[in-house]
Amino acid sequence: MKALSVKNPWAMLIAHGIKSIENRSRRTKYRGTFLIHTSQKPAFTELQSCLTYPQWNEIPEAKQAEFLSGIWPNGCIIGQVDLVDCVINHSSVWAEQMAYHVCPVTGLHILRKGQPYVWNWVLENPVLYDKPIENVKGALSFWEYRKP
């Protein structure tokens, strides 16, 4: 089955159904279910320092203490989710936005020259596993997980 390595806390937020967008520098044509693999090293250890106020408000109060602890499983598969779309400038609070201007003649959105793309992968139907699959080495981009 396809898997994607995501750094914590983002992986946990996705598996818990809180973060519905994964921001990537590349577009993907893949649509379907993939396993959520947590990288060995987290992106951040203090969740509040990396979230905007609207993002923090997306976390249910009952889960905030758990996420604030900074104790997340790493190097394991924690769940699965469906990738349903790949867009630019999604309206979600989790989507990184790209700056653009509107062409006065055509009305098209034009990106700045040389600006790197940020693709918003739209995620649905997350499942957090009761017991993670531990000691799994990840890889860049999508990769195939095969049960040992």
Give the predicted TM-score (pTM) of the model. 0.87
Please give the radius of gyration of the chain, using alpha carbons only, rounded to the nearest integer.
16
Task: Compute the average pLDDT of residues 13-18.
Answer: 97
pLDDT digits (tens, 9 = 90+) for 78-133: 999 999 999 999 999 999 998 877 888 888 877 777 778 899 999 999 999 999 99
Q: Look at residue 45 and tell me whether its pLDDT is greater than 70.
A: no
Mean pLDDT of 13-27: 96
Which two tokens mark 68?
């604030």
Residue 66 has pLDDT above 70, yes or no: yes
Is residue 90 within 8 Å of 122, Cβ to Cβ? yes
Strand partners, 34: 81
**pLDDT digits 0-9 by tens, 22-42:** 999 999 999 999 999 999 877
CATH of the domain at 15: 2.30.130.30
Contacts of 100 (CB under 8 A, 6+ apart): 89, 109, 110, 111, 112
Cα torsion through 138, 1, 92, 68, rounded to 10: -50
Residue 126's CB is within 10 A of a number of other CB atoms, namely 18
Number of domains in the chain: 1
Residue 133, pLDDT score: 95
Distance CA 82, CA 121 (A): 10
The H or E element that residue 142 is part of is strand 142-144
Provide the β-strand partners of residue 81: 34
**What domain range is 115 assigned to?**
2-144
Please, what's the largest Cα pairwise distance for the chain? 58
pLDDT at 44: 67
